[in-house]
Structure 1
């Protein structure tokens, strides 16, 4: 594997700018690696090879002319296959759209192209992004690069696994109940769900209009912040898009966290957590204390009402999105996804109204918890990556539940509230499976999450990269 495939975007970009490495070299090397190993992982549905090479040649010409666009110039990225890409097939992981080619880019794709990024292909997704397991797509499941028998997580599993396996330098995912952060944790990469409305959803096939977030997946905090820099912008054609002050999300990287306050929820986020995950998260907390942060236990009442509210909003809006396709293409569905969508018919109007009311209560609960803290820290997941196809989990007290609710239990609350949440690698299980820690921030305060994430990353970087490199070279 070419040495530069290991590099993070921010390091590689310096060499691209100087002309030491050509975007054409980078794209061709990534395509060669995809060809060599992606049959084991199934992270891509469509490869944009010829066009990516042509784009790389144009990018190289621009650089030689002195028209360098910034750190994403000439960098190949993956795109989740529910985000529209002009003239590149976009399937939503579904038979219904297996031959669909959009006439326009999603707003966020135009933003990335303007920044000089190259689309190398479309990443595999759970069908219509409706599942956190990542194993229900018309082209088959995504395999976890750390153990190909295990789930990648979903629904942005293809994006996370491709980034982890050095098939692209970053990717876009979408997150409705945790679908960026879940696979980020399972695959050992960085995943950000920004404040709701910060990134336009125009041109993204919806799952839930009021819960969907687009977010970046990368191998490092700095790269993640650079992608977010390019992606955040007001879109007057998206009614959910918010106007926010332009900022550089890398601006706090390297500034120490001494004296900053971290809130650790005393209940809910510490319940029924796998022992190895708890040990890794405790280690992360200890590192922050060593760095001078103040760690305090706080009360954060995540009620069953909030979990039910998120579920009701999701299934009601998901059915509304898919009603016509359910009727028009009754046989072109994964059975599990179809059954789940049909539960939206059962939701009653007053239940939806109550769910919207509970959303406001949940926002207030989180805002109160964050009023005396800079961030909250929790595990991203309560379990390690399960076997592909697993559907039931058993808690420590013997209760059984569907794996969906277990996987999204710690991530879905901030989809309901819209608060920014970041998952970063914090260690591995004894069997070598990645573990993530989740940082939750105040509205519009992604920069602070990156500040804390970067501080932790610097302490764990050698351990994480050494393990990842060893595994990925063996694929």
Structure 2
């Protein structure tokens, strides 16, 4: 066991609390101590609720002493992206417009984790209204990467990626509409799961794009993601898009070996124009997967550029529709980049949007045909490691827009298709920047992705690397 409780995995710390080898107070205090050390450098938290968390930890310890176990994550402290409503709490959504918004309901995903026994540490920073891929925020400042403070975390789940990487929280909810879980996982060296549309209820989570939004975790390991998904997945009367399909034992599956798995490597697009170190890490990862028993084959996917473009159209229109009233009444309260993106969405015609929506079925069918003989497809999350905060600042760097477009080109296609994808830490550059790869799977088959991720992490230690304070 690591000497500092906050450095343990979610699975390990939950076992330690339930077996009374650690108290919930000890674990919570360990997280708060790290938050006090790291938050001034990272800007990862929107709100820190230390005293309330310690009281909840004491209550959890008292309950456990009486034999009252509230769930598999009894007494485990966590913080989540500040877009998940919790009744009585301010939920800013990273915005000025909702700076003082107090939720009257609790999101289903968050409630299911609370029902499993988790404790709230506070809330985590995010891109304004989840509409930004870098981690910049015009109102609250950028979130910093724990492995290199002058580099981005990725967005929009910027605080989630940063806080999990720095071991300030054992896991955190993010959201993925165009890559907002996978990019912070890649840039910050953590594991992130973009779920199938309909796998986890979106009730009580701030919407960005009604047909693309997904709820999912960022955590240290595939096993940790499996635990969280198992607790959150399933139908919900409050969200008719949450589908009643069977929920497997994700944790058990994540412990299975790789043998018998077939993984496809794209012949184009995802392997084009890669940074040299990213390309080398992809090759090394494929070699590791092969050694662990996976069969590696080439796959030729349909034109991913068309999928990416269609995803951008759908996102732009649906986001603009949600924000229409505020765009009319409070345009001055948006950051300039988010305002520009939302206004661009208003300019897209209904015909163009409907054509993009109508094409989703045929595009998914073509993808399923191309991947019929593989269990998953492996690809980089992004063609590059994390750029600096300055390089990707639209307001401060003339080349920032080109940098951002390159960052996000590999994540949007899977969002358009509604399929799951698991981002896993796969290596580090010579400068110490994390690099992640994504495993893209079949609809509602997160289990296979977690199985591959779990086997890879038992064979490597990239997910265990710790950032150091400056």
Q: What's the TM-score, normalizing by structure 2?
A: 0.96
Q: Is the deviation greater in 280-289 or in 66-75? A: 66-75
Task: Give the match's secondary structure for 1:151.
Answer: coil
CA distance in 1, matches of 2:307, 2:19: 51
2:388 paired residue number: 387
Provide closer, same or farther for how the CA distance between residues 464 and 225 of structure 1 changes in structure 2, counting only shifts above 3 A: closer
Answer whether contact 2:220 2:463 (CA < 8 A) is retained. Answer: no
1:12 CA displacement: 1.4
Provide closer, same or farther for how the CA distance between residues 198 and 217 of structure 1 changes in structure 2, counting only shifts above 3 A: same
CA distance in 1, matches of 2:119, 2:40: 22
1:2 CA displacement: 5.6
CA distance in 1, matches of 2:147, 2:266: 30
CA distance in 2, matches of 1:464, 1:189: 6
The answer to whether 1:460 aligns with 2:460 is yes
Answer whether contact 2:14 2:72 (CA < 8 A) is retained. Answer: yes
2:292 paired residue number: 291
1:311 CA displacement: 0.9
1:419 paired residue number: 419
- List runs of 5+ in structure 1 lacking aligned partners: 394-398
Answer whether contact 2:145 2:162 (CA < 8 A) is retained. Answer: yes
Residue deviations 1:353-404 (CA, integer Å, cap 9, x gap): 11012222321122113210011111111111011132499xxxxx996333
Provide closer, same or farther for how the CA distance between residues 338 and 400 of structure 1 changes in structure 2, counting only shifts above 3 A: closer
Answer whether contact 1:23 1:60 (CA < 8 A) is retained. Answer: yes
The answer to whether 1:148 aligns with 2:149 is yes
CA distance in 2, matches of 1:455, 1:315: 37
Task: Give the match's secondary structure for 1:69.
Answer: coil
2:279 paired residue number: 278
Answer whether contact 1:74 1:116 (CA < 8 A) is retained. Answer: yes
CA RMSD of aligned residues (A): 1.7
Answer whether contact 1:125 1:137 (CA < 8 A) is retained. Answer: no
1:422 CA displacement: 0.3
Matches within 5 A, 1:49-448: 49-391=50-392, 402-448=402-448
- List runs of 5+ in structure 2 lacking aligned partners: none
How many residues align? The count is 465
1:14 paired residue number: 15
Residue deviations 1:404-448 (CA, integer Å, cap 9, x gap): 322221111111111110000000000000000100111111111
Task: Give the match's secondary structure for 2:382.
Answer: coil
Q: What's the TM-score, normalizing by structure 1?
A: 0.95
1:459 CA displacement: 1.4
Answer whether contact 1:48 1:88 (CA < 8 A) is retained. Answer: no
Runs (4+) off by over 3 Å: none
Answer whether contact 1:88 1:101 (CA < 8 A) is retained. Answer: yes
Task: Give the match's secondary structure for 1:11.
Answer: helix
1:202 CA displacement: 0.9
Provide closer, same or farther for how the CA distance between residues 333 and 389 of structure 1 changes in structure 2, counting only shifts above 3 A: farther
Answer whether contact 1:308 1:355 (CA < 8 A) is retained. Answer: no
1:127 CA displacement: 0.3
CA distance in 2, matches of 1:400, 1:71: 44
Answer whether contact 2:136 2:393 (CA < 8 A) is retained. Answer: no
Answer whether contact 1:198 1:241 (CA < 8 A) is retained. Answer: yes
1:233 CA displacement: 2.2
1:349 CA displacement: 1.1
1:464 CA displacement: 4.3
